[in-house]
Amino acid sequence: MAMKTVEEDEVGISCFISDLPGFRGVLKQRYSDFIVNEVDRDGTVVKLTSLDAPEEEPESVQENGINTSDAAVSYASRIESFKSLAGEPDAILLEEYINKINAGGEDSFSPIVLSPDSDKSHRKAVHNFFKENFKFLVTDVVDGPDPSLKCIRVRFNSAEPNNKGKNSKKRKERGGKPFDSRGSENWPENVGKFLRFHIYKENKDTHEALGVIGNMLGIQPKSFGFAGTKDKRAVTTQRVTVYKQRASRLASLNKRLFGIKLGDFCYVKEGLCLGQLMGNRFTIMLRGIVSDSEDIIKTSADALGRLGFINYFGLQFRAELAEQAWGRFGSGSLPTHLIGGALLRGEWKLAVDMILDPREGDILFIIQRIAIAKARKYYKESNDVVGTLKQLPRYLVAERAVLQSLKTSPGNYLQALKSIPRTLRMLYIHSYQSYLWNHAASKRVQNYGTEQVVLGDLVYCKGNSTAKVTEFVGSEYAEDCSAGGYASNNEDDISVDIHEDINTCVKVVDAEDLNSGCYTIDDVILPMPGSRVKYPTNNIANVYEDLTKKDGISLTESVHKVEEFSITSITGCYRRVFQKPINFEWELLAYSDSNKQLVETDLDKINKSAPKNTVKPIDVGNGKTDEAFDCIQELESSDDFPKDENFKEIAGEEVKLPHDESLGDSSSQHSHSALKLSFTLPASCYATMAIRELLKTSTSVAYHKTLNQ
């Protein structure tokens, strides 16, 4: 049976701050009605202002392989020396591995494992040999065929020699290199190793857009870094970094990119990591406004700016988790909190089944949706791992990782789950944490209201550094920068001392605090469950205990020995219960054409100021431009995208779902009303939750589809 779409109340979203009546409005009738601009840590709103590469570019860099012919001769002599140390089979294996790296083949970055070795001193000699002779390779030890034997694993490492940076240990532990460094060995010393640029995208999620760019550049996704994922159904601008690439090369892609533009290039010393942002600036157009009176609209808008909203994890959170696997399944269609619950209980097969099972409400491009649904159904009915792998697109990382593992180790479901990239599999746990947090927030509002602090609430202590506290409370998880741009939030990777420092800033409100009046409702926080967080001492703590007990999960004891899938081994953090929009503005507008764009985008502004025909607008209609064709060819040549004659939907043009239909005839002269909202939110706060407070309606896709019928 297909998994049904998750609704708000199922994940704890049930309350509002105000008791105002709300009104009707359509969210994201057009993707251009939802504009998001990243705000960097300095408070600067990130905008696309130029598509040109800077005049001064780095010197030409080597394009192929990691060495020259002279170096190859040197490696040959070293491999001969290695043969004397480790034997001919391992020397042959190593030589083949280095040749693959030189060729830049797609298999060149998979680690190799040398022959089993029970002699610890000999293994040490092998490790030292690699350190001295192959600085672009790193080694570690893995278990051999039986407990008495160990094997040395060898893998490619693109990090700088002798890198002692803060992330080097994590990179080693994870067995992965941080960047795709092919063609970058001769990068000039005086130029920053990272190219930072602004990416403007329409109706594409961040991973999808960078996947296209990576394919066109011929580099791996891990070369990119960014501070946060942005909405798919929107027009967004954000910062991205890429490792050792020239701006002129990226700027040249603009003429072929469809729905994506790159600009504002500069070279910097450090790449971006998740969480390195202050927040996002939203410009939202709610169309088809219907209300009993204009006063209700004005009063509701004023109240949102004055009171804010309950800082729930929105249904979009579940879609974002799906995005980490390079697939967008639509808001709420992937029951990630249920998968997280299964992992916490140690029900490995159930978790695998939920990852692979068919789902209702998948909102992908039509071709992708049909192909994926067919593959899921095929596996459900046949359990044919090999056959299902042939049907699943490569960008479904979690599903393919699970099936590849089951192919080699049938029935080992825990191993299959661990084969999913760690940053992705931990998101299932984080989703369950957010599910508990939402329910606790609703109970806090139901029991104690939205106006004052009460005995037993949690708050951050007054007198501590506000800046320091804000950094942690503004994000649902602390960030992990170690795995490049496609890593995701890994709260439990942050060092213990940081979390202990946060906990010293947290206190339980007592009678003295209430009498002094030093804390307000805006100070109230709730924990994301973990081993090092405090819980409220009022009855809100019961929510965490009751829900986890109902789900067969303990907050204090683990039912299995797999630490990463246990709340008792996850640190935890805190999140504000109430959030006010920053620099909030609103405006009522009248329009007659329901298909007309009502807000200027960054690209619109560039086109207005540029000489005629200098910048070609992105075609959002049905016409096929040269730019669209070129980008389609890029996608068509990639194995990461499904093949079909209907290239238009793959390339990114709008697919006309009911959600996209206009509220009226575009030729109608009847006036409609729209509400334009502009505001900034801290990182990890959801604009859809602000809209929900305003309209007093659900933000689910299913509900907003009905408004267009």
Give the span between the Cα atoms of 377 and 369, in whole angstroms.
Answer: 12
- Output 635 or 252, whichever has higher pLDDT: 252
pLDDT of res. 369: 64
Per-residue model confidence as pLDDT tens digits over 280-328: 999 999 999 999 999 999 999 999 999 999 999 988 644 444 444 333 2
Give the span between the Cα atoms of 276 and 241, in whole angstroms.
Answer: 12
Alpha-carbon separation of residue 314 from 16, 103, 434, 620 (angstroms): 13, 45, 9, 28
- Output 584 or 611, whichever has higher pLDDT: 584
pLDDT band at 435 (very low <50, low <70, confident <90, very high): very high
pLDDT of res. 360: 57
Per-residue model confidence as pLDDT tens digits over 359-413: 654 444 445 567 778 888 888 888 888 888 888 876 677 888 899 999 999 999 9
pLDDT band at 4 (very low <50, low <70, confident <90, very high): low
Say if strands 458-460 and 506-508 run parallel, antiparallel, or are unpaired.
Answer: antiparallel
Quick check: 639 and 400 in contact, CB under 8 A?
no
Quick check: 472 and 491 in contact, CB under 8 A?
no
Window from 252-261, 359-368, 459-468, 658-667 with minimum mean pLDDT:
658-667
Per-position DSSP letters for 104-145, written without gaps between them: T-TTTTS-EEPPPB--HHHHHHHHHHHHHH-TTEEEEEEE-S
Ranges of H-type helices in 151-202 = 168-174
Alpha-carbon separation of residue 390 from 387, 393, 406, 526 (angstroms): 5, 8, 14, 45
Q: Give CA angle at 33 (28, 37), nearest 5°.
A: 115
pLDDT band at 342 (very low <50, low <70, confident <90, very high): very high
Comparing C-alpha atoms, which of 292, 288, 194, 198 is closest to residue 237?
198
Comparing C-alpha atoms, which of 149, 188, 172 is closest to residue 60?
188
pLDDT of res. 386: 87
Give the span between the Cα atoms of 131 and 143, in whole angstroms.
Answer: 21
pLDDT of res. 344: 95
Alpha-carbon separation of residue 500 from 332, 496, 504, 533 (angstroms): 34, 6, 6, 9
Please determine, for residue 555, whether its predicted confidence score (pLDDT) is greater than 60. yes
pLDDT of res. 372: 78
Mean pLDDT along residues 689-703? 81
pLDDT of res. 392: 80
pLDDT of res. 480: 31
Window from 131-145, 294-308, 472-486 with minimum mean pLDDT:
472-486
SS3 state at 367: helix
- Output 110 or 278, whichever has higher pLDDT: 278
pLDDT band at 654 (very low <50, low <70, confident <90, very high): very low
pLDDT band at 598 (very low <50, low <70, confident <90, very high): very high
Output the six-digit token pair for 316.
Answer: 């979009």
144 CB-contact burial (10 Å; exposed 0-12 / middle 13-18 / buried 19+): middle
Mean pLDDT along residues 669-675? 84
Quick check: 352 and 417 in contact, CB under 8 A?
yes
pLDDT of res. 149: 82
pLDDT of res. 161: 40
Comparing C-alpha atoms, which of 652, 558, 619, 586 is closest to residue 346?
558
pLDDT band at 455 (very low <50, low <70, confident <90, very high): very high
Window from 117-126, 236-245, 696-705 with minimum mean pLDDT:
696-705
pLDDT band at 232 (very low <50, low <70, confident <90, very high): confident
Quick check: 300 and 291 in contact, CB under 8 A?
no
Please provide the average confidence, as pLDDT, over all residues in the chain: 77
Mean pLDDT along residues 8-34? 92
- With helix as H, strand as E and coil as C, how does 204-253 read? CCHHHHHHHHHHHHCCCHHHEEECCCCCCCCEEEEEEEEECCCHHHHHHH
SS3 state at 613: coil
Q: Give CA angle at 471 (467, 474), nearest 5°.
A: 120
CA atoms within a 13 Å half-sphere pointing along the CA-CB vector of 52: 7
pLDDT of res. 334: 56
Output the six-digit token pair for 290.
Answer: 């219907």
pLDDT of res. 171: 41
**First and final C-alpha spacing in the chain:** 28
Per-residue model confidence as pLDDT tens digits over 46-74: 999 999 998 877 654 443 334 433 444 45
Please determine, for residue 434, whether its predicted confidence score (pLDDT) is greater than 70. yes
Give the span between the Cα atoms of 388 and 370, in whole angstroms.
Answer: 14
Question: Which residues 6+ apart lie within 8 Å of 702 measured at CB?
Answer: 5, 7, 361
Give the span between the Cα atoms of 590 and 597, in whole angstroms.
Answer: 12
Mean pLDDT along residues 478-499? 32
Quick check: 267 and 192 in contact, CB under 8 A?
yes
Please determine, for residue 77, whether its predicted confidence score (pLDDT) is greater than 60. yes
Give the span between the Cα atoms of 535 and 544, in whole angstroms.
Answer: 9
pLDDT of res. 191: 87
Please determine, for residue 213, whether its predicted confidence score (pLDDT) is greater than 90. yes
CA atoms within a 13 Å half-sphere pointing along the CA-CB vector of 119: 9
DSSP code for 456: T
Window from 90-104, 153-167, 213-227, 550-564 with minimum mean pLDDT:
153-167
Per-position DSSP letters for 616-668, written without gaps between them: PPPP-SS---HHHHHHHHHHHT-TTS---S-HHHHHTPPP--GGGS-SS-TT-
Residue percentage of the chain with pLDDT more than 70: 71
* 422-448 helix and 541-550 helix, angle to the nearest 10 degrees: 130
For residue 267, what is the enclosing H or E element?
Answer: strand 260-268
pLDDT band at 43 (very low <50, low <70, confident <90, very high): very high
Say if strands 34-39 and 235-243 run parallel, antiparallel, or are unpaired.
Answer: parallel
